[in-house]
Structure 1
């Protein structure tokens, strides 16, 4: 549910009773990943999506029922060849959905409210909810901050709280959402448990070096894709808020000096559009040695060869140079700044998701990367050894 945290947090702050449907696990080709959520308030207002439209009507009715009876349930939806009118996924996949009430009197409300508030502020947080286990625990929740401090809990089971908090921190460190299976011994409550752990982490950074018209278009696309966008250039006359209204921040500084002092991580993407050796060579010397997700540099093929030569002279290895995506972007035949920004963004997405960049028409690769098949009659789980 953390994918709709901003709006859902407002609902909870307003004291509304809500029911939330969350994708727990997927099998085959499914349109939304684990953690995708749809919420319904007592007045029937809806936000979010669990399937892109395929089963929303059936999920809506289940949420309304959950609001009335206060029960949490797990429902499976899949493609139905026998009944074309049955609620199912036309893409052929299977999803398990947890529907739970978050009424004012529900024991999970404090943990859910804490996680939603943190996610809405852009802070890192994890939310663990019991999907299957003892009836008195189903639907209970625990929110965990990066330092491991919890909010909420599983009632009279402090040992279970500690176990789940430790596992949730591991999910949060990886920025991952998925299921956690804890055996009877590890659960400390006398029965095996399956939990859904959602992670919400701050937006990944996109740092665009070079205050040019292509950078302005890329800042718009980067923000649209959910990045925190920084534009950096050493020239104050070009690096202005007026020229880059879609950037979260504009920095006037030599690019390599800024990259040396700023924070980056394994999700950060670096786009070097400076197109000037006095900027991009010292910048790329640093960038290609950082543990970031993507490094791309603009320029013609001749520019790339000259840049490659200078970087080798600076001491970069073949392995380091192999990380450089240059010329930057996919071959879309782009001409305008907007088209070029689209080609760069497409390459970033392909690198992140493992896509090939070839047209889907005629391709033999799956549209959605498949997860392991779900076990018969239950939620999909990936066993994790509990502490």
Structure 2
């Protein structure tokens, strides 16, 4: 839904009444992932998409029904071999959609307005929707902040008052997904409400060490993938804004010294393109001790063997060395800087989602799969 933030904020400012349909779960292959949304106002104006066209008509009708009776509902769509004319996904997967009316007096309206303002303005947080539980709470929403505070009316149920803590777990990892809220000691019923939590956090960092021509191509690909990209090199003549106009930051500093002081987290990717032992070894000593998502280093296989020897001599253990992606990138036969950047980006994506990097024609695993859990913070 957050991709519709600007339009929905405008609708709220114009005091429009509308219903919003959000994909809250996906099974198998599906065109859009969790969080994709479609909204319909009283005049029938539509924004967004939940399926790339497969079930848009049916979801449009559900939005109209929700506006008419003021009730939230969930609906599951899948592929039907028995009925060729049934509404479903031609790709064979399933999606579950939550449809929530946002009328003039809806308790969701102030929460949604606050959430869209906060999150679209760059503030970290999560928008959590009740997708299963007591009927009167279905479709209710919470804005959860990183400090654990939250906004939203949830009827005072003890189970749902703990929803902020449950949602915070996904928010801390920067993940979007569903979480079930278990009853506590003060619970007055045995229901276990489910929440769909859509996290909004700053973009993941990509730090590229080495101001070379391959770095310029990798900066462009990194930005395309949604990273905040920093280029770092100790040589001021090469690390210039003119050479890397698309980078978010260009830093002149010794790579290992910069990495020790800059912010990293479990989503950060580190790409070492310096290709020089006096930079590589001290940098990788630091990098392999950080709980980041990816550490890759450029170089030939001979360079890689020499680099491992130097790192072992510096005291880096085998467990840490096993995290190093070197030579960096997938085997695409890349030659140009752009092709090499593509091979590096492909390896980063595969590492993030647990992909193999093999051609899909040679594999039988699902095309779309759940990503691996983020590394735990040290």
- TM-score scaled to structure 2, two decimals? 0.90
1:96 and 2:96 aligned? yes
Worse-superposed segment, 126-135 or 85-94: 126-135
Q: Which residue of 2 aligns with 1:175?
A: 174
Query: Is the partner of 2:341 in helix, strand or coil?
Result: helix
Change (3 A) 1:11 1:207: farther
1:83 and 2:83 aligned? yes
Q: Which residue of 2 aligns with 1:163?
A: 162
Q: Which residue of 1 aligns with 2:375?
A: none
1:285 and 2:289 aligned? no
Contact in 2 for aligned 1:30/1:89 (Cα 8 Å): yes
Query: Is the partner of 2:116 in helix, strand or coil?
Result: helix
Q: Distance in 2 between matches of 1:103 and 1:3?
A: 21
Q: Which residue of 1 aligns with 2:128?
A: 128
Contact in 1 for aligned 2:233/2:254 (Cα 8 Å): yes
Contact in 1 for aligned 2:159/2:183 (Cα 8 Å): no
Provide, for residues 228-285 of structure 1, a one-character-per-residue CA deviation record: whole Å limited to 9, x for no partner. 1111112222222222222122212111111000011111100011112221111111
Q: Distance in 1 between matches of 2:68 and 2:89?
A: 26
More contact order relative to length (CA 8 Å, sep ≥ 6): 1
- The Cα of 1:10 is off from its aligned counterpart by 4.5
Q: Which residue of 2 aligns with 1:194?
A: 194
1:34 and 2:34 aligned? yes
Q: Distance in 2 between matches of 1:355 and 1:14?
A: 45
Q: Distance in 2 between matches of 1:280 and 1:35?
A: 40
Contact in 2 for aligned 1:350/1:357 (Cα 8 Å): yes
Q: Which residue of 1 aligns with 2:119?
A: 119
Contact in 2 for aligned 1:29/1:370 (Cα 8 Å): no
Query: Is the partner of 1:357 in helix, strand or coil?
Result: coil
1:270 and 2:303 aligned? no
Q: Please list every run of 5 or more consecutive structure 2 residues that lacks an aligned counterpart in the other structure.
A: 372-378
Worse-superposed segment, 14-23 or 296-305: 14-23
Query: Is the partner of 1:221 in helix, strand or coil?
Result: helix
Q: Distance in 2 between matches of 1:6 and 1:280?
A: 44
Q: Which residue of 2 aligns with 1:379?
A: none
Q: Distance in 1 between matches of 2:280 and 2:183?
A: 56
Q: Which residue of 2 aligns with 1:214?
A: 214
Q: Distance in 2 between matches of 1:244 and 1:64?
A: 49
Change (3 A) 1:47 1:342: farther
Q: How does 1:308-347 map to 2 (within 5 A)?
A: 308-347=308-347
Contact in 2 for aligned 1:111/1:127 (Cα 8 Å): no
Change (3 A) 1:208 1:319: same
- TM-score scaled to structure 1, two decimals? 0.88
Contact in 2 for aligned 1:27/1:370 (Cα 8 Å): no
Query: Is the partner of 1:235 in helix, strand or coil?
Result: coil
Aligned residues: 370
Q: Distance in 2 between matches of 1:9 and 1:23?
A: 20
Contact in 2 for aligned 1:122/1:203 (Cα 8 Å): no
Provide, for residues 26-82 of structure 1, a one-character-per-residue CA deviation record: whole Å limited to 9, x for no partner. 233333333222233445444433223321232223223333443211111010123
Q: CA RMSD in A?
A: 2.3
Q: How does 1:141-156 map to 2 (within 5 A)?
A: 141-155=141-155
Worse-superposed segment, 237-246 or 212-221: 237-246
